[in-house]
Structure 1
Amino acid sequence: MAATIKAAEAAAASALHIVVFPWLAFGHMIPFLELSKRLARRGHAVTFVSTPRNAARLGVIPPALSPAHVRVVSLDLPAVDSLPEGAESTADVPPEKVELLKKAFDGLAAPFAAFLADACVAEVREGGGGRRGGFGQKPDWVVVDFANGWVPPIADMHQVPCAFFSIFTAAALAFVGPKAAHDAHPRTEPEDFMSPPPWIPPPSTLAFRRHEAVWIAAAYRPNASGVSDIDRMWQVLEGCRLIIYRSCPEVEGHLCHLLDDLYNKPVVPAGLLLPPDAGDDDDIPDLIRWLDEQPARSVVYVALGTEAPLTATDVRELALGLDLAGARFLWALRKPSGGGNAGELLPEGYEERVAGRGVVETGWVPQVRVLAHAAVGAFLTHCGWGSTVESLRFGLPLVMLPFITDQGLIARAMADRGLGVEVARDDDGSFGRDGVAAAVRRVMAEEEGKVFAHNARELQEELEDGARQEQYVDELAKRLRRRSLS
């Protein structure tokens, strides 16, 4: 009994209080929440900071973790002219207004400062007397995203160290590089981003296509918030003691090992933070029943995320390309940029023409469950890192159609590993039905597809070592514990 008590006291004494504060996009909030849950399962208390509407939409914290280990603190997002009322995430605004959301996000600096000040005096006010564990103790770390560069100075006032959690790949961190590297080798024009930066050793294919490079170059210029996206990220990087990223050497190899020297501070993988199993329940959507009726590995699952800037022309060409390819498909079709009903953008009579061979779903699709289904043989994806990680888990080859941020780099990296092919695009970024059909056939119907499938299954086997993935979080937790005492 005495030994049990001592073990419990030792665990409590080593428990941390970690505040996490992601950018207001679900592609950021969800990985931050996954990391929070994993740290909480190791006995640490995690305060997840967001806004009221996002907190409500993120879902229920597992009962085993709440409220003892994970709590959500909501800060009211200030109003900004021309930002739609009630908009609290990138999913609530068109792409051209995301910069206004960043301006509103900057308005959270004062409320966050008040929250942190209160959290730092809570232990004294509640009579902690040096007792550790739980939300009553002063935060040991603040883990921030790329967008809130104003957090490190606030945390410094209270002597709380900051860590940057990059939901992007090691490749993206390497390509951006620290501010000192950019100052030595300035990049301002799209052409500058169409070849690997000089600080990445050759040979390397880390580069953007022209249409992607135009988008990336814009991220280096101030927007309506008054700050460029890259300057935000550099502010965070320079103000943090530790960099955490969502990847691992099994997937990105040498790039992971480059980061420590490049940033001149510890850079730690969190692993892929793989989603939980799809699970079985009594609610079986019709589309899952349809998959049950299809031959093994015969269906292409098509999903381009919730925020890809998909135009009406893109929807039409993708639809016609899937038809031309001749493969079975399940398409999770979201509303494109510019509004309108997604289904209305399909060619006239399209769903009737592909009936039995293709399904277009404009409502919610349980993506993990679909990717895990035996009938699915490939994934046509925008190469968002979250979706790519999910596909890697299930050993699926890829048909890749990247749009924004680091998606192009991810597509190049996956192609280099022999996991699939990109849909051909013109310099302006446009693509056509023939390119879609050719890429789908290469992965699903041609001999080359067997190689892609074999490579994907090999990587799946490496990633199925759940103990190794959990070890990355174990090592991160130990690093946080050591640094909190330094």
Structure 2
Amino acid sequence: MDMKLKLWSWAGGFSAETGLFVFLEMAAAVWVVGGVRDPTMGVDWRLLVVFMVSRVFVVVSVVNKEEIEEIARGLELSNVNFIWVVNFSFDEKISGSDKILPEGYIERVKERGMIVAKWAPQAKILRHSNIGGFLNHCGSNSILESLYFGVPLIAMPVLVDQFIAARYMVELGVGLEVKREENGKVKAEEIAKAIKNLMVEKKGEELRDR
């Protein structure tokens, strides 16, 4: 991967008149070089990652219980190995994976999936060669780490700026985006489709070879 990205600043702020965010281009440019992998990580996390190959790493902020259930079903339908960090940042009342995941879900996916509450060493996991894809909400940190470690991403944006970033990543050819319905909702079938396109189909091979 060898591409030049322009660096943008939020300094322009938000325009109440147009309802749009204003970005200002900064003088400096950022050179992105992907594929930096270092297998070093804590013993416990290394064991969690290496026991299965071709994993997809999932870190997305969720708005409600319905959305997290769709993510759960999407991962199950994809039949792909995964590590899923469950983050309830938009609803503090929701807590405990056993309370919000579909009944019997953990038992059904235990042979190929790992569910982690709230936090995991993201950079350490992404740098491992067994990670073949990164499903995330396209926040700036996730994008930078995805590019730095050469892990193609699956974008599932939540906030306004994340939708812009997601489209940009797709146009650059470093990831795919989960298609949403006209009402903005995301469905399990589309999540599964995006994961399989990246992890199983030829399109994913092309992205990893960039």
Report TM bin, short chain: 0.7 to 0.9
- Cα 1:345/1:448, change in 2 over 3 Å: same
- Determine which of 413, 418, 423 is the counterpart of 2:178: 423
Question: How far apart, in 2, do the equivalents of 1:326 and 1:172 lie?
Answer: 40
Question: How far apart, in 2, do the equivalents of 1:421 and 1:170 lie?
Answer: 22
* Aligned 8 A contact 1:335 1:342 in 2: no
Q: Does 2:208 match 1:453?
A: yes
Question: How far apart, in 1, do the equivalents of 2:13 and 2:109 lie?
Answer: 49
- Determine which of 95, 105, 128 is the counterpart of 1:341: 95
- Cα 1:394/1:320, change in 2 over 3 Å: same
Letter in 2 for 1:340: I
- Cα 1:363/1:404, change in 2 over 3 Å: closer
Q: Does 2:147 match 1:392?
A: yes
- Determine which of 310, 330, 344 is the counterpart of 2:63: 310
Whichever of the two has the greater Rg, that structure is 1
Correspondence for 1:301:
57
- Determine which of 53, 63, 85 is the counterpart of 1:332: 85
Correspondence for 2:47:
289
Letter in 2 for 1:302: V
- Cα 1:412/1:352, change in 2 over 3 Å: same
Q: Does 2:187 match 1:436?
A: no
* Aligned 8 A contact 2:58 2:136 in 1: yes
- Cα 1:319/1:336, change in 2 over 3 Å: farther
Q: Following TM superposition, by how much is the alpha carbon of 1:439 offset from its aligned partner in structure 2, in angstroms?
A: 0.6
Relative to the length of structure 2, the TM-score reads 0.83
Helix, strand or coil at the partner of 2:56: strand
* Aligned 8 A contact 1:334 1:342 in 2: no
- Cα 1:440/1:277, change in 2 over 3 Å: closer
Matches within 5 A, 1:360-399: 360-399=115-154
Q: Following TM superposition, by how much is the alpha carbon of 1:279 offset from its aligned partner in structure 2, in angstroms?
A: 7.5
Question: How far apart, in 1, do the equivalents of 2:133 and 2:89 lie?
Answer: 23
Identity over the aligned pairs, expressed in percent?
A: 29
Q: Following TM superposition, by how much is the alpha carbon of 1:418 offset from its aligned partner in structure 2, in angstroms?
A: 1.4
Helix, strand or coil at the partner of 2:87: coil
Letter in 1 for 2:174: L
Helix, strand or coil at the partner of 1:364: coil
Helix, strand or coil at the partner of 2:103: coil
Q: Following TM superposition, by how much is the alpha carbon of 1:354 offset from its aligned partner in structure 2, in angstroms?
A: 0.3
Q: Following TM superposition, by how much is the alpha carbon of 1:335 offset from its aligned partner in structure 2, in angstroms?
A: 2.2
* Aligned 8 A contact 1:378 1:396 in 2: yes
User: How many pairs align?
Assistant: 201
Q: Deviations over 1:374-416 (max 9, x none)?
A: 1100000100011110010111111110111411111111100
Q: Does 2:158 match 1:403?
A: yes
Question: How far apart, in 1, do the equivalents of 2:191 and 2:32 lie?
Answer: 31
Q: Deviations over 1:186-214 (max 9, x none)?
A: 514xxxx5xxxxxxxxxxxxxxxxxxxxx
* Aligned 8 A contact 2:134 2:153 in 1: yes
Question: How far apart, in 1, do the equivalents of 2:31 and 2:66 lie?
Answer: 34
Helix, strand or coil at the partner of 1:441: helix
Letter in 2 for 1:303: V
Letter in 2 for 1:317: E
- Cα 1:309/1:351, change in 2 over 3 Å: closer
Question: How far apart, in 1, do the equivalents of 2:123 and 2:102 lie?
Answer: 28
Name the Cα RMSD after superposition. 3.0
Q: Following TM superposition, by how much is the alpha carbon of 1:363 offset from its aligned partner in structure 2, in angstroms?
A: 4.5
Q: Deviations over 1:321-367 (max 9, x none)?
A: 01001110000111252222141211111111001201001053111
Question: How far apart, in 2, do the equivalents of 1:270 and 1:446 lie?
Answer: 33
Q: Does 2:18 match 1:187?
A: yes
Q: Deviations over 1:201-257 (max 9, x none)?
A: xxxxxxxxxxxxxxx6xxxxxxxxxxxxx7xx9xxxxxxxxx8xxxxxxxxxxxxxx
Question: How far apart, in 2, do the equivalents of 1:290 and 1:309 lie?
Answer: 24
Q: Following TM superposition, by how much is the alpha carbon of 1:310 offset from its aligned partner in structure 2, in angstroms?
A: 2.4
Q: Post-superposition, which runs of at least 4 consecutive aligned residues in structure 1 deviate over 4 A? A: 176-179, 270-274, 276-279
* Aligned 8 A contact 1:397 1:453 in 2: yes
Question: How far apart, in 1, do the equivalents of 2:62 and 2:119 lie?
Answer: 19
